[in-house]
Each structure stands twice: as C-alpha cells, then as structure tokens.
Amino acid sequence: MADQERSQNLNPNPNPEAERREKNKLPNFLLSVRLKYVKLGYHYLISNAMYLVLLPLLAIASAHLSTLTIQDLVQLWSHLKFNLVSVTLCSSLMVFLGTLYFMSRPRKVYLLDFACYKPEPERTCTREVFMDRSTNIGCFSEENLAFQKKILERSGLGQKTYFPEALLRVPPNPCMAEARKEAEMVMFGAIDELLAKTGVKAKDIGILVVNCSLFNPTPSLSAMIVNHYKLRGNILSYNLGGMGCSAGLISIDLAKQLLQVNPNSYALVVSMENITLNWYFGNDRSMLVSNCLFRMGGAAILVTNRSSDRRRSKYQLIHTVRTHKGADDKCYNCVFQREDDNKKIGVSLSKDLMAVAGEALKTNITTLGPLVLPMSEQLLFFATLVARKVFQMKIKPYIPDFKLAFEHFCIHAGGRAVLDELEKNLELSEWHMEPSRMTLYRFGNTSSSSLWYELAYSEAKGRIRKGDRTWQIAFGSGFKCNSAVWLALRTINPAKEKSPWIGEIDEYPVQVPKIAPVVASS
C-alpha cells in the first residue's frame, strides 16, 4: 500500500484506463511462490503413493530370490518343514505384506467415454441475434447496450453459440417450466449419446453426480435423471449446486473418492449450467458480463474402477488437486449472486476477479507441480525456491516448463482475457491453447462442461495418442481452482468418434483478433 501511495504522489495524473487494464491481467503467479504450497504438493505425492514404498522391498526380495539355486531351495524347505515357528512367521509376514499392499493401493479410475451435448441449429445465437433480443427486451439503457456489444466483439465468442429457446423468444419467457425443459434437453441429450457410445445399461450405474451451479429445483436434477432412466433404487446420487465453473472437476473428484470404496462400479458424472432462469435484466455492468459470455451446453462422463473395462477405456485418472480460497473475503465475494439496486438478480463479477484467479491458480499449480513435473524440473525449481525463500538470495526464479509434464491442456474457456494471460504465464504455444480458444469461439462459456468440449476438440483433431497426458484446469466462484490429470490409454481415432465437432472440425482453428478486453465497471 505504501508503494502504491508513493507512485500516486509521483504521478499526480494517473491514467485510469491503464490502471484498469493492469487490474484485468493475471499476476505472474509463477514468479512469487509460497513454500507451504510446494510442501503441500509433496505431501499429496507421499500420501497418495505410500504403497510404492513396498515396491523397493519387493524388488530387493525378488533379486535375492533369483540368486538362489535349487539346492538352496531344497535346504530351505527341509529347514522349514520341521520348524513350525519359522513357517508361521514367514507365512504371517507374507500375508501381512500382501494385505498391506492391496489395502493401501488406491483403485485405478478409468474414463470409459464422455459425450457433449450439441443443441439444434434453431438454438443458434449470433451476435446480431443477441443484440436484437437485448434491445427488444427494453430494460437495458443505450449505454449498457453499447457496453454489451463491445463485450461480445472482444469476448472471443463466435457466431454459432447456442441459447435456450425461452430466451430466444420475443418476448423472452424465463420460467420454471422452460428451465426444466432446458435441463432435460441438455442432460438427457448428453446421457443418451454416452450410453449409446459405451453400451453400458442404465441399471448398471451405481453412482450419479450432477453439478449445476445456478439452477437447483426440487426434486433435484439428479432425481430427474434417476426418474427418466429408471436407475436402481440403491444408487448413490449427489447434486452439487452453487459451486461455479470448477464444479465439473469437483464432481470427477467426488466420483473418484466414491469409486475407492465401491468396487466394480460405474459412476455417471453430468456437468452443465442452466441459463433460462439466470438471465440478468438489469443495468449493473458487473452483472451484464455474464449475459454476454455464458451459453447453453453440458457433458456426461462415465468413469469406472472395473479392471475389466481398462482395455476399452479412453483415459485413466492420475491426479486431482483442489484448491479453495473461500476463507479470504475478497476471494469469496469476487463472483457473487445478488440483487442490484432495483431487486434484479444477477451474478456480479468483481474488479478483483483476475487477481483472485491468479492467486488460486498459483496455489493449485504449485501444489500440482511435485506430482507431475519431471525430476529435473523439480530439482531446478526447488533449488531456486529454497535459495530465494530460505537464504534470501537475489536470483531469478526458475519457472517450471509444464509442457514437459503434459502434451495437452484443457483450460476452462471462461473468457479470452484469462486464456491470454494463462498462455503468457505458462509460456504455452497457440497450439496448446487452441482447444480452449476454439471451444470459447464455437460454444461460448458453457461453465463446468467447457473442459469436455475442449478434450473432444483434441480428439477430433486426432491429437490424442496412447500415453499422452492431459491437464484439465478450471476455476469458479468461491473462489476455487481445480485440476485433473488424465493419461490416454489408447490412441483416439477421430473417424470412429461421435463428438460435437463432427462435420466441422476442419473449419478450425480460426483466427480470433486479439483486442484489449473490456473492463466491467459500474
């Protein structure tokens, strides 16, 4: 604060536009890393891989046994045959070690397949249609109509995104019945395609996790799915609400935890957002940004712990890392659903959003690093970190190269400004950012399901090879930042895949002009 005051005194006429642009940038979070989050990453590494400690012991024992001759084995058998104590101790030790190994080893979780919902062409919402509907509503001022137009032009969204029927009507008809209709269309459309792709029967699903942040009717969305597909009565169903755009990976993590204690199970994860009842009809600019970015979409994912399904699964879940910054008031309030001065409900985006997102990303990435980075990168990073933090040496911090840990990046397509900053901070190429940018351009911000449209893009482009690692990272209200790491179990043939990009993947990538983003200020 003192440094800011001194800079303002030295510059009596600061440029407010430059200040707003600076606030809209992510901080270079890799240049300032807290040691406690590095330690947390290593704690995860050790706690999640304790069973690996047994592997060196087994290797030593195997190496020793390989040196024994037939005569040694005969002599050992003769000794044990007449020594009950030795036999009992050896048998008990072998049983104990075997039990410890199998009990401490986490079950492997596989992604059998996933499906993304693609609305009908009648739901297409071009920029012109969006502005036409916004103008005809008659509740937005001329200044805010111009503001929304600028947001659309600079958002990175294209001309083929989708809106629910209720909001495309003239006049719009946002009501509970239309919201349920949108939810059923998205969820059932994605699930139907997923069940057809996998051949799994609905009765075989033992776990159901549904996440939708802003629409939580009674009965719940998970109950809606149970009723429609007549799922079995003992299904473990969960409905996550109010958790923002990062809830998709929270659902994956929850499914993973449930699969650890429920053997031979299928878990269905459904990620979506509902727009019909969450359109903002006021003139608070901090709430108008959401209107311009969010679009209709959803995804269904089927994960399992059945070892027999490994052969036909696409991916194996390697890591999930969750970061929650809600203890800080600034983080908690940066994305907030509230009423404006005229009692109109909307989701307000704070001016501190980019700084908060940067802090959450920094924490999550720092924790994830020890789990995924090659040892050479970890040693360089850790050595420079200790030198700077412990010995107070003035040396340039080492920025790990995450491209050595992952072949593919699926970054939540929340908006072009965040994608631009992440590309710069993580030193990613345009090729790495292409799935996120093209998903934002083609489908808009579909909230928690955007990561799956991005993974579908990489598959449709024929990029996924056996052994490739994919990093999914998303952030949302609360404030939360979550990561998932997937290992490709086979090469994906795009010709055999049904995806939302089918029939049009050759049109991408397209060049999206890089224009300075608009800052929402009331």
Tell me how far apart the 2 most distant CA atoms of the chain are, in Å: 97
Question: Rounded to an integer, what is the distance from CA 309 to the centroid of its chain?
Answer: 24
Q: At what angle do helices 247-261 and 450-460 cross, to 10 degrees?
A: 80
Catalytic residue of the set 412, 432, 481, 482: 412
Query: Can you tell me the distance from the alpha carbon of 418 to that of 433, in angstroms, rounded to the nearest whole number?
Result: 11
Contact of 289 with 147, CB cutoff 8 Å: no
Place of tokens 């040196």: 67
Among residues 306, 332, 318, 421, the alpha carbon closest in space to that of 30 is found at 421
Query: Can you tell me the distance from the alpha carbon of 396 to that of 388, in angstroms, rounded to the nearest whole number?
Result: 9
Contact of 301 with 313, CB cutoff 8 Å: no
408 is catalytic: yes
Query: Can you tell me the distance from the alpha carbon of 366 to that of 359, in angstroms, rounded to the nearest whole number?
Result: 11
445 is catalytic: yes
Q: Write the CB contacts of 319 (distance below 8 Å, at least 6 apart in sequence).
A: 48, 368, 371, 372, 483, 484, 485
Catalytic residue of the set 211, 305, 445, 482: 445
Question: Rounded to an integer, what is the distance from CA 478 to the centroid of its chain?
Answer: 15
Among residues 289, 268, 313, the alpha carbon closest in space to that of 466 is found at 313
Query: Can you tell me the distance from the alpha carbon of 473 to that of 483, in angstroms, rounded to the nearest whole number?
Result: 4
467: left (phi over 0), alpha (psi -120 to 50) or beta: left
Catalytic residue of the set 24, 212, 408, 425: 408
Query: Can you tell me the distance from the alpha carbon of 85 to that of 317, in angstroms, rounded to the nearest whole number?
Result: 44
DSSP secondary structure of 180-210: HHHHHHHHHHHHHHHHHHH---GGGEEEEEE
Question: Rounded to an integer, what is the distance from CA 130 to the centroid of its chain?
Answer: 28
412 is catalytic: yes
Among residues 403, 407, 396, 455, the alpha carbon closest in space to that of 426 is found at 403
Contact of 445 with 490, CB cutoff 8 Å: no
DSSP three-state, residue 421 = helix
324 is catalytic: yes
Contact of 130 with 295, CB cutoff 8 Å: no
Catalytic residue of the set 245, 292, 331, 481: 245
Hey, what are 383's tokens?
């050595």
Place of tokens 């072949």: 407
64 is catalytic: no
Q: Known catalytic residues?
A: 245, 324, 408, 412, 445
